[in-house]
Structure 1
Amino acid sequence: MRRILVIDGHPDAGSYCAALAHAYTEGARAGGHEVRLLKVRDLRFDPILHGGFTHPQPLEPDLVEARDAVRWCEHLVIVTPCWWWHVPALLKGFIDRLFLPGVGVDYLERPPYIRKLLKGRSARVVYTQNSPQALAVLAREDLFWRNMRRAFLRHCGFRPVRRTLMAGMRSADRGRRERAAGGPRPGDGGPLRSTCRLPAAGARRRRSRGCDRGGRGRIGPYRSGGQVVGGSARTARVVRSWAAAPAACPWPPGRTARPGSRPRCRAARR
């Protein structure tokens, strides 16, 4: 049993995301987990961080309870729509006001310059978008997921960070929406209910592979957070180029570079 915090970030109580958050909560409770559901639209707080990090802005009572819930949980779930390749303004203001220095990270004067304060927790982002995922990856570089995964959740220490994406919702019929939200189907709880089966605490995490990790991985469809997004000739070329260039210097200093390639670090150019 794990402690799970579900954050419903849609400003409309009658939205499809609200139904998804409810389905995830019910599925996790049915799996024996301890779950809290936090609806951002019902909180009373100022979503504007007026002075940035330079002028302290006291937290409202609802934000204090939300901060304690984030520290309490072992698994964080954020349910949100994708608007303009980002979260709604209400949820963005909630993140700005809540995950301040001292809650999400601490800034240091020496390397590594930050201390991640929410380590030991996993996270999942459940989100919807009207655009097909192929467009999000090829034309917009998967901006929403890159921001949520790398710039926010991993920056605060959450690992692993995975996603459940429902793309092309503009053309989705009622049956597809019900199936995604765990609608009535005999013998099947729906994708969100199956998502709630979490790994046991302390279990070894399997290293995800794909072009979003910048390391050597399998060449094929774009993989991110355990989900196959799609494959094309262009995507395969991107995967090959990223897989051939590890994050560190591609060859040790002093060795001869590969034909037709240029050293990627100063040490190898000497």
Structure 2
Amino acid sequence: MDTLRKPPRRILIIEGHPDPSPQRLCHALAEAYREGAREAGHTLRTLILGDLDIPLLTSRSDWESPRGIVEICQQDLLWAEHVVVIYPLWLGDVPAVLKAFLEQVLRPDLRLIRSVRPRAGCSRGGPRGWSSPWACRAGSISAGSARTASEASAATSSSS
């Protein structure tokens, strides 16, 4: 069985809960993932967004010149071969701190493209029949029908 084991990977865990308190479920899930990944021999880094001072974008100059913690987070993303994002679903959407993080860090000049087969999924909770305009936005792929980016692109171009 050891011959089927995959080589160790560099994994970045992003904890997207704005409260850094260890009592939060998201932090417990991240810790469980960390333990399993360590036992499997992977190298880990963790970003706990509740502990970081992620600035909001308020001007064009903020967008054009990332500084400080934003550059450090970008380096962590570039280092990673696998990224895990754990966050609560609030009112059908991600917390504002995670949105600010993604807005700041995922800039057009950041080169994250690798020879991987990305998968996308969407999950939402709430009372039966409850729906939100923010949950599972157009263009997202539901967990039950995950496709690679190239398959989704081919489907879009063939239907137009």
Same fold by TM (over 0.5)? Answer: yes
Distance 2:121 2:17 in 1: 11
Aligned amino acid, residue 144 of structure 1: A
Structure 1 residues 72, 55: CA separation in 2 closer, same or farther (over 3 Å shift)?
closer
Secondary structure at 1:223 match in 2: helix
> SS at 2:57's partner residue?
coil
Moved >2 Å (runs of 4+): 52-58, 117-130, 143-147
Following TM superposition, by how much is the alpha carbon of 1:31 offset from its aligned partner in structure 2, in angstroms? 1.2
Paired position in structure 1 for 2:97: 90
Match of 1:144, SS state, is coil
Per-residue CA deviations over 1:30-71 (Å, capped at 9, x if unaligned) read: 11111111101111331x1112478524322x2222111100
CA drift of 1:129 comes to 5.7
Report the residue type matching 1:15 in the other structure.
Answer: R
Query: 5+ unaligned residues in a row in structure 2: which ranges?
Result: 1-7, 148-154
| 1:38 pairs with 2:47 | yes
Cα distance in 2 between the residues matched to 1:5 and 1:103: 16
- Which residue is equivalent to 2:126? 131
Provide the aligned length of Structure 1 versus Structure 2: 143
Secondary structure of the 1:45 match is coil
Aligned residue number for residue 118 of structure 1: 113
2:3 matches 1:3: no
Aligned to 2:72: 65
Displacement of 1:126: 9.6
Higher relative contact order (Cα pairs below 8 Å, separated by 6+ residues):
2
Aligned to 2:107: 100
1:89–1:26 Cα change, 3 Å: same
How far is the alpha carbon of 1:28 from its aligned partner?
0.9
- In the alignment, residue 34 of structure 2 is paired with which amino acid? T
Distance 1:128 1:91, change over 3 A: same
**Alignment of 1:49 onto 2:50:** no
1:95 to partner: Cα distance: 0.8
Aligned residue number for residue 224 of structure 1? 145
Q: 1:27 aligns with which of 36, 45, 51?
A: 36
Q: Is 1:18 equivalent to 2:13 in the alignment?
A: no
- 2:96 and 2:24 mapped to 1: Cα distance? 16
Give CA-to-partner distance per residue, 1:210-260, whole Å, 9 cap, x none. xx58xxxxxxxx82349xxxxxxxxxxxxxxxxxxx6425xxxxxxxxxxx
1:20, 1:32 → 2: CA distance?
A: 19
Query: Where in structure 1 are there 5+ consecutive unaligned residues?
Result: 105-116, 151-211, 214-221, 227-245, 250-264, 266-270
Deviation at 1:82, TM superposition (A): 1.0
Q: TM-score, normalised by structure 2?
A: 0.70
Is the 1:76–1:121 contact (alpha carbons within 8 Å) kept by the matching residues of 2? no
Q: TM-score if structure 1 supplies the norm length?
A: 0.44
